[in-house]
Amino acid sequence: MTTPQRVEADLGWALHQVTRAHIKIVEQVLSGIPGGPRGYQVLAAAEEGTPTQLALARKLGLDRTVMTYLLDELVTEGLVERRPDPADRRARQIHLTVAGRAQLCDLERRLREVEEHLLAPLEAAERDQLRELLARLATTVQVEGNACQVAEDIKRA
């Protein structure tokens, strides 16, 4: 399975190969975070506001029970805190800790490096072209769910 002569092989094959390579290196960067890529996404979402657990679960396309387990680990690692929601005593707001914010900042820097590494084989102009074309396609195809979920789907396929 070097260079495909077949069918699906075309766009699908290339798309999956590149995505797979991206996932592999991203997983390495995020291997130290509880929940891996998911944990990172929780941190990123928590930085943007103070979402409740349910809001977080919906945003990331996860079951709320999975979110409970995931947050248990992130809390244990001291990256986030659960605080009572003053407006609704049933809900918990998720806040980044100082350590969580520092961790997130570091991860974001390393993820940018990963992208640059992945695109390195292309010329600068080509990298921009690819980014632009993919971004345009991505906004038009818009599938329900999230990018993280893609990893699940790809594996199942």
Partner DNA sequence: TATTGTTATACTCTATAACTATA
Partner DNA sequence: TATAGTTATAGAGTATAACAATA
Residues that bind a second copy (CB under 8 A): 1, 3, 6-8, 10-24, 26-27, 36-38, 40, 44, 48, 59, 108, 111-112, 115, 118-119, 121-122, 126, 129-131, 133-143, 145-157
52 scored as a contact of DNA (CB under 7 A) = yes
68 scored as a contact of DNA (CB under 7 A) = yes
| Beta carbon nearer to a second copy, 48 or 86 | 48
The 3-state secondary structure of the chain, one letter per residue = CCCCCCCCHHHHHHHHHHHHHHHHHHHHHCCCCCCCHHHHHHHHHHHHCCCEHHHHHHHHCCCHHHHHHHHHHHHHCCCEEEEEECCEEEEEEEEECHHHHHHHHHHHHHHHHHHHHHHCCCCHHHHHHHHHHHHHHHHHHCCCCCCCCHHHHHHHC
Task: Select from a second copy, DNA, none the partner in contact with residue 118, using the beta carbon and a kind-dependent cut-off of 5 to 8 Å.
Answer: a second copy
80 scored as a contact of DNA (CB under 7 A) = no
Task: Select from DNA, a second copy, none the partner in contact with residue 44, using the beta carbon and a kind-dependent cut-off of 5 to 8 Å.
Answer: a second copy
Q: Minimum Å distance from CB 89 to a second copy?
A: 28
Binding site for DNA (CB under 7 A): 52-55, 57, 62-69, 71-72, 82, 85, 88-92, 152, 155-156
